[in-house]
Amino acid sequence: MPLIKIRDLHFYRGDKAIFEGVNIDIHRGKITAIMGPSGTGKTTLLRLIGGQLRPDKGTIEVDGQDVHQLSHAELYELRKRMGMLFQSGALLTDINVFENVAFPIREHTTLPESMIRDLVLMKLQAVGLRCARDLMPGELSGGMARRVALARAMTLDPMMIMYDEPFAGQDPISMGILVNLIHHMNNAMNLTSIIVSHDVTETAEIADFIYLLSGGKVIEKGSSVQLKKSSSPWVQQFMQGLPDGPVPFHYPGVSFSDDLLSPEEIS
């Protein structure tokens, strides 16, 4: 059974359809990527899975539980088993690295300080930042901040981690470190990982399965090898980063020549 099962998902913002009949399976122990052009609702999907948003139609089951039928207390317990790496890192700016990583442990457990210290140092060691524990978030590079956020997301040993654009704005070295960490942590901790990303090369390198979203629907799904062999012009344009194709370079409208010859008044 998949860890997350999404069926006939519909979600609207006003009159705009974000999802129209989306079906997705997130399998246990795997890295699943959700990809597509900007504005296709990828981050919205993570919020629906976490229960921050409610679908207009359809169901989302996480570990056999219908997320949007749970009570507040039940949803709170389920969320403790979910880790989240936000695009910005979302570190608390007034406390240091150690306290940022310790925060979920203090919030959700009654462990003694000695054990909290050991757990925090273990998580920071795993992301290579144990010796940066006394730094403040403002002293960290963008890549370091993401790694601290990843350590924090792992503190309660969750069953799954959701990554919202983990590679955005990273230099090649930081990006390589994050790619390696996500892959290594998923295998070492037997996690289930969901990556929302625009970075095709890095994401395809580690994803076991990829869903491509556009226009409120799943356009294509499969492994990176399968998608690269897809006969869909849209898939090829997205995977290869082509400037023109089914998604046109020019915003749709009247032709350039007709626009030039139109008798529109000039104010």
Q: Tell me the pLDDT band of 263, cut-offs 50, 70 and 90.
A: low
What is the rounded CA–CA span in Å between residue 60 and residue 55?
9
Upper half-sphere CA count for residue 187 (Cβ side, 13 Å)? 8
What is the rounded CA–CA span in Å between residue 193 and residue 203?
12
Q: Which residues pair with 133 in a beta bridge?
A: none
Residues of the chain with pLDDT > 70: what percent? 96
Closest CA to 184 of 213, 150, 142: 150
68 exposure class (CB count in 10 Å sphere: 0-12, 13-18, 19+): middle
Look at the block and give the residue holding tokens 């370079």: 249
pLDDT of residue 264: 63
Q: Long-range contact list for 260-264, CB < 8 A, 24+ apart?
A: none
| Average pLDDT over every residue of 101-123 | 91
Backbone φ and ψ for 244, nearest 5 degrees, come out as: -140, 155
pLDDT digits (tens, 9 = 90+) for 78-108: 988 888 888 766 888 899 999 999 998 998 8
Contact 123, 100 (CB under 8 A): no
pLDDT at 73 over 60: yes
- 1: CB partners within 8 A, 6+ apart: 28, 64
pLDDT of residue 260: 80
| Average pLDDT over every residue of 201-210 | 88
Backbone φ and ψ for 21, nearest 5 degrees, come out as: 75, 40
pLDDT digits (tens, 9 = 90+) for 163-195: 988 887 777 888 888 888 889 888 888 889 999
Contact 210, 217 (CB under 8 A): no
What is the rounded CA–CA span in Å between residue 120 and residue 123?
5
More reliable by pLDDT, 96 or 250: 96
| Average pLDDT over every residue of 45-65 | 92
pLDDT at 267 over 80: no
pLDDT of residue 85: 85
Contact 42, 213 (CB under 8 A): yes
Instruction: Give the domains, in start order, of the chain with CATH numbers.
Output: 4-81+160-261 (3.40.50.300), 94-157 (no CATH)
